[in-house]
Structure formats: structure tokens, C-alpha cells
Chain A
Amino acid sequence: MSSDPHSLRLSRRGFAVALAGAAAMVLPMPALALTVEDARALIDKAVADVNSIIASGQSESAMFGAFEQVFINYADVPVIARSALGPSARTASAGQMAAFTAAYQGYVSRKYGRRFREFIGGSIEVVDAKPLKSYFEVISVATLKGEAPFDLRWHVSDKSGRNLFFNIIIEGVNMLASERTEVGAMLDARGGDIDGLIADLNAV
């Protein structure tokens, strides 16, 4: 583990990856099956974005907006939304599902975007990627100011038609399970009323 707290080397590499990523997004890409390199490249790009936002020196509130955008660009929000809703996704109407997904996207982006603030002054480095069942796991190490480095994993799939991550696991704590518990509790508080849940999500 590098003990260099400034990670200059990292952010320079991150910048190169971000440039490569930007080029890749401009050029039309043939549809290929996801490989371990693609999965790693996606998270490298997302991490480079996060690191460059952290290094940008803009105000915290401006950073929140930028972090939300990272979430929207790189995460499969509709599938995370359905998973969070759990069994009720089956009984919801198509209109309710669309409204729920939109409300949830705002909610989850705000919530996790805000959490990225803890990375200010730190950095994330992708260290490994491997296939796992029908998707890929990209392993990164987050080093925050004055903290022991910790394990941050991303699950990446192309089943949505694009390469996107659908789960983040921080020191064993996985976002999908946590979100299903949370949204389930919010739905219970509304006595199972999805429209009420949607209103609550928009208000958080």
C-alpha cells in the first residue's frame, strides 16, 4: 500500500484515464460483450471523475451536483430502483414504476452524491477486477485523509445495454441490500402506498 497521502501519481493517471474515457464516449462503439477490462475501465472512469471533482477545489455544494452527475452517468439507476422497491415492483403499474424510478434517481443520487463528500481530500484507486457470476466485480481501495485505507467494490453489468455499475460494496456493506431495507421501511411507513412513497422520496 502506498503511503503517499497526496496521490499525485494517482490523479495524473486518473486524468489520463478520464481523457481516454471522454474519447471513448465520443467515438461510436460496436456492441461487444462486457469484459473484465471494460468493467475496470468503467470504474476507472467513474473514479477519475470523482477524483477530479475532489481535486477541482470548487465549493462543496457545487461538488454535490457534480457527484450526483457521476451517479447518473455510471450507475444503472432503473435496475437499482426496481431492486430497492422489492416485491412491490410487481404490483406497481407502469406509470407508478416510471414515477418511482424518476423519484428514486433523484433521491439516490442526492444521497450517495452527498456521501462522496467524505472523499474530499482523499482518493480512490482501482486495484483489481474479476468476473463474478453473471457480472464483474471491480475492487478499489479508498484512502481518506487520516484513515486506514478501506475496501470499496463495484459490481458492473452490461445487461441494461450499457456498461454500468449496479451495486457498491463498502467494507462488506452493500448498497442494494441497504436500499431495499430503507425503501421497504419507507413503504411500510406509508402502509404500502407507492404514490405516498414517491412523494416522500421527492421530499428527501
Chain B
Amino acid sequence: MTLNIRSAARRKALFVVSSLAVLALPACAPAPQASGINDPHEAANRRFHEVNRAVDRTILRPASKVYAILPQPVERGVENFADNLDTPGDVVNNLLQGRVGPAAQNSLRFATNTIFGIGGLFDTATALGLPGVETDFGETLHVWGVGEGAYIEVPFLGPSTTRDFAGTLVDLAANPVSLAVPQPESNISIVAKAASRLGDRARYSETVESVLYGSADSYAQLRLLYLQNRRFELGQTDGAASDGGNDGFVDPYEDPYVQ
């Protein structure tokens, strides 16, 4: 049952990828810098935001507190293991983006951690000066010239954009490790990823709580955080939102409200 749904989703996602690839490859320049907030589905997004807050309150937060009882080295091992299984997918995306250096680094990293890090439980590569160059298919789409699209908050997944959510679906469906490893063994990567997310929820607990429950408008705050951080990751803002007006940043000394 689950298997059928998954393979159907996978086929569908692969279809989306190949059609997008055909559309995008001829115009192979990164998408122009996105700015401001494009949120045409705000009403629906706000409903999903409430769903996500409820899921966090009733499931994620309590589960992460239980998970956090595990000794730190165990949590770290789970996180490393999940990250390592994502690395082949990173390599594919690095290559699709035409970034050979990061692809080589991630490949070497995967080999190092799989062999010397005991199947990825230890992050030997970072200790050797080979940090991961994490990426995703959303970034690949960006490099191919696909614009950010609309902001969306996805139930159970959280903030995204139409482009990045399409990327997430592709990464899930076309993950090289899940494709190479037969069922049900490949489910371990999903379990590891879920556990790793619980670990993140526990570790960044204070930050998550301050946004989700400490803000006067947690929806607007999360949207702003996500968009700014995502644009930074994609190298669109140089960390500075330096091209004034971007992401709601205004030089306060030139700001008409400040005199």
C-alpha cells in the first residue's frame, strides 16, 4: 500500500523532473534575485500554519523531548547517518548545477564517512577538513533559472516556495540511496531522517519556540525567516540583504520613518 503510493509518487516526480529539465535547460542562467514577499495563497497558508503548529505542539515537541533523552553521541550518530544518506543526492544535484568541485568534495565525503565513519555514523570527513556542501533540487531549479514562485506553508513539512517544494518532492522520490537500496531496507533512511528532525527540534528548541509561540504573528515571522534564509543559501543576498528594499530591509538612516 505504502509502497504503491511511494512508487506512484516517485514516477510522478520523475516525470515532473524530466519535463522541468526540458523546459529549463535551454535557458540556463540562475533565476533573477527574488525580493519582497509573494504570498498569493496566504489564507490557505495560514490555515496550514495552524495545522503545523498543532502538529508541533501535540507530536513534535513532546516526541523531541523524549528523543532528547538519548545520549548526545547517539543523537549525533543518527544525524550523521541521515546526512550521509543524503550525500549521494547532493552529488547528483551538484552535478546538475554544473558545480564539479562541490560534487567531488561530497563524493569524497560520502566515501570517507561510509568507510571510515562506520557506515556514516561518524562524520570523519568534516574532521578531515571536508565539510558537506549541502544542496537540493530546489537549488538546482534555481540554477536552471526557475524563479522562486509563491510562498507556501506545506502541512507537516513547513515553510517552502512552489519551486522549493517541487524540489523537495523530487529529492524524496529520486533519492539515489532509496533507489539503489531495495525495500524495505531503504525505509531506514526515512526513519533516520525523521529521527534526525526530532533531534533538530530538540536542539533548536528555544529558537523554534520563540518563533512559533513567542511571536505576535508567527506565520508572518516564519515566512520572513524562511524567505530571507533561503535566498541567502542560494547566494542571492550575500548575507546582507544589501540591495536595499530587499526582504523588507530598509536602511533606517535613510528610512522616511526615521528622522
Contacts and interface: CB of A to CB of B under 8 A. Distances in A.
Q: What range describes how many residues of A lie at the interface?
A: 35 or more
A172 B232 contact: yes
Interface in A113-137: 115, 117-118, 132-135, 137
Contacts of A176: 249-250, 252
B248 A169 contact: no
Given A83-B258, A133-B244, A176-B252, A171 B239 contact: yes
B216 A172 contact: no
Interface stretch (A14-22, A63-71, A86-94): A86-94
Residue among B131, B215, B252 with most chain A CB within 10 A: B252
B224 A172 contact: no
B257 A82 contact: yes
Interface in B206-241: 206-207, 215-217, 220-221, 224-225, 228-229, 231-233, 237, 239-241
Interface stretch (A25-33, A38-46, A50-58, A182-190): A182-190
A178 B220 CA distance: 9
B56 interface: no
Contact of B257 (A85, A157, A169): A85
Given A79-B253, A172-B233, A185 B217 contact: yes
A132 B18 CA distance: 42
B228 A173 contact: yes
A177 B257 contact: no
A139 B239 contact: yes
Interface string A163-177: 000110101111011
Interface residues of B, number: 36
A159 interface: yes
Given A134-B254, A172-B241, A3 B225 contact: no
Nearest to A78: B258
Contact of B237 (A83, A172, A180, A188): A172
A96 B224 CA distance: 28
Nearest to B257: A89
B50 interface: no
A127 to B, nearest CB: 12
A178 B207 CA distance: 14
27 contacts: A82-B252, A82-B257, A83-B255, A83-B257, A85-B257, A87-B257, A89-B258, A90-B257, A118-B206, A118-B207, A134-B251, A135-B251, A157-B253, A169-B241, A172-B229, A172-B232, A172-B239, A173-B228, A174-B228, A174-B247, A174-B249, A180-B248, A181-B220, A182-B221, A184-B217, A185-B216, A188-B217
